[in-house]
Structure 1
Amino acid sequence: MKIAQIAPLWERVPPPTYGGIELVVGRLTDELVRRGHEVTLFASGDSQTLASLEAVYPRALRLDSKIQERPLYEVLAPSQAYQRATEFDIIHSHVGVWALPLAEVVSTPTVHTLHGRFSRDSGEIFGYHSTQPYISISDAQRQIDLNYVKTVYNGIDIGNYSYYPKPQDPPYLAFLGRFSPEKGPQHAIAIAKKTGWRLKMAGKVDVVDVKFFEREIAPLIDNRQIEFLGEVNHAEKADLLGNASATLFPITWDEPFGLVMIESMATGTPVIGIKMGSVPEVIAHGKSGFVCQTYDEMAEMIPAALELDRKTCREYVKNNFTITQMVDGYEAAYEKVLQGSVKNYPSHPARLYPLPKIVS
């Protein structure tokens, strides 16, 4: 099968540190090549892949200080991919709304993986193009009426995550993610302060989140109880998660998947998360962690998390969230679209109004 993969340009594929979408695209692309498919990856020129790389821009956009309006450049990858549409059996887009209008004017079918949640505005645009084939990364993500082909959970190469049979002493809690309000680092700190636990935190601070970080996070970092590690590479990330007694996932938004959860569980460390978005689908409550109604409950469940079997956490990921299972799902989706089981009719302009209803 000749497949085009369109990746966001914000990070390279795979990312050297933090970047969930690009990490998934990298794993998917390489495994498709290993399975004998002819894959072309449209991504930044610093990407590393087994596929044929189409370097849309020389480097990850966030690393180029010369660009003043970085989001505008995201249109480059789908533009170049669709100019070559006749070369592929199927196009797989990971760039959201940017590919939608182009997908409707070529004969090569496109499947779109949804990597984010729907806002009022994005919901309107996706609703306008509702009949194109979509893949959700959790059932919770399906907040508006679209032509869903399948739900395919993100997967990891569990062999790249060492198993940590017991947490580090002295013990600590871990937080890994963007330092933004929706990821909840402020709640992770509050939980640590309330319980007296040490907290090690790692992740990037995007430009849009600098003020939030400086106002609500930085003043609380004392590098004794609350430690900030900055961005970490894969080995450092695995050590951070694997040596922790538990990983906190105190999000404030409907997270469509949350790769950190399966990465933590793969090392043996249970996850305590808030009941929003995909969390109930990813955490096996009472086995690989706990799904809580409130942040106070998250704090209360720390002692119970310490009693969970760390081998069970790892086995749970091995049985549900591997690259093999993810790529099996995507191959099945491609075949379904190519066989005509999922139609890709042009959307009708009348679908634009009224706005699609987004489930709160």
Structure 2
Amino acid sequence: MVAPVAQAVPPTKSGSVETVTALLTDGLVARGHEVTLFATSHSKTTATLHATQARGYHEDPTLWPWELCELFNLAAAVERAESFDLIHYQAEYTPIALAFSRLISTPLLQTLHHAPSATEVQLWSKYPEAPFVAVSNAQAARMVGLRVAATIHHAIDTDQLGFKATAEDYLLFLGRFTEGKGVLQAIEVASRTGQRLVLAGAENDYYREVVSPHIDGDNVVYAGEVGGAEKGALLGGARALLYP
């Protein structure tokens, strides 16, 4: 299992790809499979951990360009390909494992974690035999000309999600602050319906420049970056999750 090396697996707070990778890896171990996880050395796993770097490039500004960090981590698995029945690469940004897929006999599978553009799919179709896992049927529909082996939805840890029969007085936006995630639309929905909105996610330039002017501490509240039990509590208490 080849994880992104932006941060630890699982992440201390937000990080959906790292979270899903941790759940899948530990789940395979629990089923009796022998798994080696290629990730940062401060990751926590029941699998055998192989680390190419101590910390993630989101945590250490000297570890750039990030593409090299990802390549070195993937290459470490490819160099040991004869030891594995399958190499599963979690492609957080781009499916760079395509470049290695014809160099080894071990199957090299990639799970894609974003919605690809038509231009991207056309470029990747140079490797039509390389298998992908889609995370939704909508994503798979974009991958025309690629070999989509299956659609497998993200796993969740239900122990982290406590059900509340009575919702609290807020709507919730939980995710990365970018134009494509629809946070401004979520703010508009809350304003039009007269409901309180809680925003949760890691602060970045988009948040500081575009989102923060809408924060008033009353109708629109910023809860910061959350994870684990805190994330579960926010989800459990919300009247609705807004993800326009």
Give the structure-1-normalised TM-score.
0.64
Partner residue, 1:85: 81
CA distance in 2, matches of 1:40, 1:50: 9
> What is the identity percentage for the equivalent residue pairs of Structure 1 and Structure 2?
37
Following TM superposition, by how much is the alpha carbon of 1:149 offset from its aligned partner in structure 2, in angstroms?
Answer: 1.3
- The answer on 1:107 being equivalent to 2:108 is no
- The answer on 1:239 being equivalent to 2:233 is yes
Larger C-alpha radius of gyration, 1 or 2?
1
Partner residue, 2:132: 134
CA distance in 2, matches of 1:30, 1:121: 35
2:121–2:146 Cα contact (<8 Å) kept = no
Following TM superposition, by how much is the alpha carbon of 1:190 offset from its aligned partner in structure 2, in angstroms?
Answer: 1.1
Identify, as 1 or 2, the structure richer in helix: 1
- The answer on 1:44 being equivalent to 2:40 is yes
Structure 1 counterpart of 2:196, from 182, 198, 219: 198
The 1:129/1:61 distance shift into structure 2, 3 A limit, reads same
1:33–1:50 Cα contact (<8 Å) kept = yes
Q: Which structure has more RCO (C-alpha within 8 Å, separation ≥ 6)? A: 1
Structure 2 counterpart of 1:7, from 3, 21, 27: 3
Structure 2 counterpart of 1:30, from 26, 29, 38: 26
- The answer on 1:55 being equivalent to 2:54 is no
CA distance in 1, matches of 2:160, 2:212: 32
Q: Which runs of 5+ in 1 are unaligned?
A: 251-360
1:189–1:199 Cα contact (<8 Å) kept = yes
For the residue of structure 1 that corresponds to 2:52, the secondary structure is strand
1:180–1:205 Cα contact (<8 Å) kept = no
- The answer on 1:66 being equivalent to 2:28 is no
Give the letter aligned to residue 163 of structure 2: Y
Q: Which runs of 5+ in 2 are unaligned?
A: none
For the residue of structure 1 that corresponds to 2:43, the secondary structure is coil
Partner residue, 2:218: 224
Following TM superposition, by how much is the alpha carbon of 1:67 offset from its aligned partner in structure 2, in angstroms?
Answer: 2.9
1:97–1:125 Cα contact (<8 Å) kept = no
Give the structure-2-normalised TM-score.
0.94
CA distance in 1, matches of 2:128, 2:113: 16
Q: Which moved more, 1:79-88 or 1:138-147?
A: 138-147
Alignment map for 1:1-360 (pairs within 5 Å): 5-95=1-91, 96-142=94-140, 143=142, 144-168=144-168, 171-206=169-204, 210=205, 212-250=206-244
For the residue of structure 1 that corresponds to 2:46, the secondary structure is coil
For the residue of structure 1 that corresponds to 2:150, the secondary structure is strand
CA distance in 1, matches of 2:80, 2:64: 28
For the residue of structure 2 that corresponds to 1:214, the secondary structure is helix
Question: RMSD of the TM alignment (CA)?
Answer: 1.4
CA distance in 2, matches of 1:69, 1:205: 21
Following TM superposition, by how much is the alpha carbon of 1:120 offset from its aligned partner in structure 2, in angstroms?
Answer: 4.4
Following TM superposition, by how much is the alpha carbon of 1:71 offset from its aligned partner in structure 2, in angstroms?
Answer: 3.0
The 1:121/1:11 distance shift into structure 2, 3 A limit, reads farther
